[in-house]
Amino acid sequence: MAFYCEYCGKEEKELRVLLNGYCSKSPSKKHKAYDGNNTNPFLCKHCGKKEQELRVLVNGYCSKSSSKKHEPL
Ligand SMILES: [Zn+2]
Ligand SMILES: [Zn+2]
């Protein structure tokens, strides 16, 4: 079991460690725990793109999202 950041896709084994880290992609500068389906594959809720790694998904360009980033479902 691992925890992922919804903004940058960082993976940590411990939620506490994730939440205490700095996130350059988050508006609050903190990682935010992703609480959706955290098993592979990850899907973009805007365009349906599938990636095996959340980090890869959230760093890609999404033409259907208002933020131009894929967002996990
Ligand atoms: Zn993050
Ligand atoms: Zn997308």
Segments of 1-73 assigned E as strands: 3-4, 11-12, 42-43, 50-51
Give residue 47's pLDDT band: very low, low, confident or very high (50, 70, 90).
Answer: very high
State pLDDT tens for residues 2-41. 899 999 999 999 999 999 999 999 999 999 999 876 677 8
What's the average model confidence in pLDDT over 48-67? 94
What's the DSSP call for residue 52? Answer: S
Total-model pTM: 0.78
Give residue 1's pLDDT band: very low, low, confident or very high (50, 70, 90).
Answer: confident
Q: What is the pLDDT of residue 35?
A: 82
Q: Find the 55 Cα to ligand 2 centroid distance in Å.
A: 13
And the tokens for 50? 């599938």
- Ion ligand 1 neighbours (CB, 5 A) are 5, 7-8, 10, 23, 31
